[in-house]
A = this chain, B = another copy of it.
Amino acid sequence: MSDGTKASTDAQRLAERAAQALAENDKTALHLGIRLVEIRPGYARMAMRVRSDMVNGHHICHGGMVFTLADTAFAYSCNSYNENTVAAAASIDFLAPAHEGDELTAVAVEVWRTRRNGIYEITVTNQRDERIALFRGRSYRIDGQLVSTG
């Protein structure tokens, strides 16, 4: 195995371990049925089915639930380097409504990262690949790591 391949494999293993550590404590994701589908360094794909308790007063999926799915994908992607990282800010554009029973997918992609700060773009789509929302998050690294690498 070349050094480049090994570094890449190590980074992937670390991303998987960090995601597992997050998942064990993420009661919100568990409670809402948000599932991790794919994790890579700086990337996460998650899914959520819109349940009957996720609609709002207009009979469509609550914007907060769409945001929560996107924010969760954001969290897994920006924590994939095993450095404790939190959201500093986020913005979301709602493009189309989601409905009860829809299967939503959020894909988080890193667009920029320095030692402390990062920017991630998350796209939420439904089961027909229609875009539901665009989310842009700004991350901030705090002290500590998710899993021990000793």
A contacts, CB < 8 Å to B = 21-31, 52-60, 62-65, 67-69, 71-72, 75, 79, 84, 86-95, 97, 111-112, 117, 119, 131, 134, 136, 138, 146
Contacts and interface: CB of A to CB of B under 8 A. Distances in A.
Nearest to A142: B58
A93 B75 contact: no
A89 B91 contact: yes
What is the interface of chain A mostly: helix, strand, loop, or mixed? mixed
Copies of this chain present: 4
Contacts of A63: 68, 71, 75, 87, 90
B28 A53 contact: yes
B53 A138 contact: no
A14 to B, nearest CB: 15
A90 B87 CA distance: 15
B79 A57 contact: yes
A48 B71 CA distance: 19
Contact of A112 (B25, B79, B87, B95): B95
A91 B90 CA distance: 6
**CB-based closest 9 A-B pairs:** A64-B68, A22-B57, A28-B62, A91-B91, A31-B53, A26-B57, A64-B71, A25-B57, A89-B93
Contacts of A58: 22, 25, 84, 86
A91 B111 CA distance: 15
A24 B55 CA distance: 11
Given A93-B138, A95-B112, 4 more contacts: A22-B57, A26-B56, A93-B119, A93-B136
